[in-house]
Amino acid sequence: MAKECFVCHKGVVSGNSVAHSNKHNKRMWKPNLQKIKIVVDGTPRREYVCTRCLRSGKVERA
């Protein structure tokens, strides 16, 4: 399972890092995910949630 946000489904984005000489190398941008205990349908469970969702209050912590 790829790590992605449980709330907004934000995941890994891939692309190229481009050097000054225009040399391209594959790289990945990963979201800032935290594994926290949240309330889902009235029951607590541990899920990966991005810090943007945590900060904006889209999840209820258990």
Q: Would you state the pLDDT for residue 31?
A: 96
Q: How many angstroms separate the CA atoms of 21 and 27, rounded?
A: 17
Q: Would you state the pLDDT for residue 1?
A: 56
- The DSSP-derived string for 42-53 is TEEEEEEEEHHH
For residue 19, being part of any structural domain is answered with: yes
Q: The pTM is what? A: 0.83
For residue 33, being part of any structural domain is answered with: yes
**Residue 35 is part of which domain span?**
13-56
For residue 24, being part of any structural domain is answered with: yes
Number of domains in the chain: 1
On whether the CB atoms of residues 35 and 42 are closer than 8 A, the answer is no
For residue 52, being part of any structural domain is answered with: yes
Q: For residue range 1-59, what is the model confidence (pLDDT) as tens digits?
A: 578 999 999 999 999 999 999 999 999 999 999 999 999 999 999 999 999 999 999 99
